[in-house]
């Protein structure tokens, strides 16, 4: 197996465990609105039935269909999602904003999905969206999506980095970290996002020449080993 698979394996076993833990912590401390679903892990035995509303174990890979599950975000939540994604990844020069690359639609697809990882994330994201609007109302008497950039920044600065967040913002900071991860995931998996971050590829080549000379120089290596 290649090591991309290695990271997939690790994610399956370990980071999911972490996600689950933070989801549980969130449940215990925040005013959560979604019941926690104990969905179990992939590998364990027991009844094997297809995931309800999933795409199944044999979807069309060549022409993928739209995900079959129903979207759960309402109009109000989508407005918050759009505003927050654009605070995290705004338009800069020629580089598009998150909403221009339809990141909110991706977040909706993700938190609506029926699979264990996504259900776990939903349990962090939905209460988090509620919190950020409640906080906006508390501070500025408006929902988050109607705040000025400066007001949005004031809230985000308090929750953008978990290790430095004040105790009362710890849960919100966990939400923000997860939300930023998902926003980046949605953004950089688009063709535009991948290009912007410096991915070059997915084109047929006659030869594979290895890293070009400027890369070898960058690495301070005299020449390729073979």
Partner 1 sequence: MPHINAGKTKPEYDVIVVGSGAAGGQTAYTLAMDGAKVLMLEAGRDYDPVKETPMFQTRHQAPLRDSGTPEKPFGFYDATVDGGWKVPHEPYTNASEKSEEQFWWWRARMLGGRTNHWGRISLRNGEYDFKGKSRDGVGIDWPIGYSDVEPYYDKVESLIGVYGSNEGLENTPNSPEGVLQAPPKARASEIYTRKHAQKLGIPVIPIHRAVLSERLNSKKIPKRLHPNNPKAARILAQEMDQRLACFWATPCGRGCSIKANYQSTTVHIPPALASGNLDIITDAMAREVEIDATGKATGVNFIDKTTGLDYSVKGKIVALAASSCESARIMLNSKSALFPNGIANSSGKVGKYIMDTVGAGLGGQIPAWENMPPHNEDGAGGGHSYVPWWLYKEQLAGKLDFPRGYHIEMGGSRGTPRVGTFNGLEDYTGGSYGKQLKEDARRYYGSFMSYAGRGEMVPNDDCYLEIDDKVTDKWGIPVAKFHWKWSDYEIRQAAHMHKTFAELITEMGGTITDEVDTTGKKAILPGGLIIHEVGGTIMGANSKTSVCNEFSQTWDVKNLFITDGGPFCSNADKNPTLTIMALAWRSADYMMDEMKKGNI
* 117 is an interface residue for partner 1 by CB under 8 A: yes
Instruction: Give, as ranges, the residues between 44 and 63 that touch partner 1 (CB under 8 A).
Output: 44-51, 54-59, 61-62
Smallest separation, CB 35 to partner 1 (Å) = 20
Q: At what angle do helices 116-140 and 149-159 cross, to 10 degrees?
A: 120
Contact by Cβ (8 Å): 85, 96: no
* 224 is an interface residue for partner 1 by CB under 8 A: yes
Q: How would you write 177-223 as a 3-class SS string?
A: HHHHHHHHHHHHCCHHHHHHHCCCCCCCCCCCCCCCHHHHHHCCCCC
- Of 3, 38, 74, 94, the one binding partner 1 (CB under 8 A) is 3
Between 35 and 198, CB nearer to partner 1: 198
Closest CA to 176 of 35, 22, 11, 48: 22
- Of 24, 154, 162, 170, the one binding partner 1 (CB under 8 A) is 162
Instruction: Give, as ranges, the residues between 130 and 159 that touch partner 1 (CB under 8 A).
Output: 153, 156
Rounded distance between C-alpha atoms, residue 162 and residue 39, angstroms: 27
Cα 218 → chain centroid:
32
Instruction: Give, as ranges, the residues between 86 and 115 that touch partner 1 (CB under 8 A).
Output: 87-90, 92, 95, 106, 109-110, 113, 115
Between 33 and 45, CB nearer to partner 1: 45
Between 6 and 134, CB nearer to partner 1: 6
Between 35 and 212, CB nearer to partner 1: 212
Closest CA to 211 of 220, 154, 193, 203: 220
């Amino acid at each position: 197996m290649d090591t991309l698979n290695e990271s997939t394996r690790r994610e399956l076993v370990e980071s999911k465990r972490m996600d689950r833990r933070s989801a549980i912590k969130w449940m215990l401390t925040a005013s959560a609105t979604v019941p926690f679903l104990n969905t179990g892990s992939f590998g364990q035995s027991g009844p094997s039935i297809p995931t309800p509303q999933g795409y199944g174990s044999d979807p069309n890979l060549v022409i993928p269909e739209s995900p079959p599950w129903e979207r759960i975000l309402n109009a109000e939540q989508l407005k918050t999602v759009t505003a927050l994604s654009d605070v995290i990844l705004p338009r800069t020069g020629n580089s598009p904003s998150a909403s221009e690359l339809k990141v909110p639609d991706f977040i909706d697809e993700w938190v609506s999905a029926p699979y264990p990882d996504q259900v776990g994330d939903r349990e962090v994201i939905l209460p988090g969206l509620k919190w950020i609007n409640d906080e906006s109302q508390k501070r500025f008497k408006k929902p988050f999506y109607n705040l000025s950039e400066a007001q949005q920044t004031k809230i985000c600065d308090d929750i953008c980095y978990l290790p430095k967040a004040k105790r009362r913002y710890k849960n919100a900071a966990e939400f923000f970290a997860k939300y930023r991860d998902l926003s980046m995931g949605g953004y950089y998996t688009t063709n535009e996002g991948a290009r912007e971050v410096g991915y070059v590829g997915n084109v047929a080549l006659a030869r594979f020449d290895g890293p070009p000379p400027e890369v070898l120089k960058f690495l301070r290596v005299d020449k390729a080993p073979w």
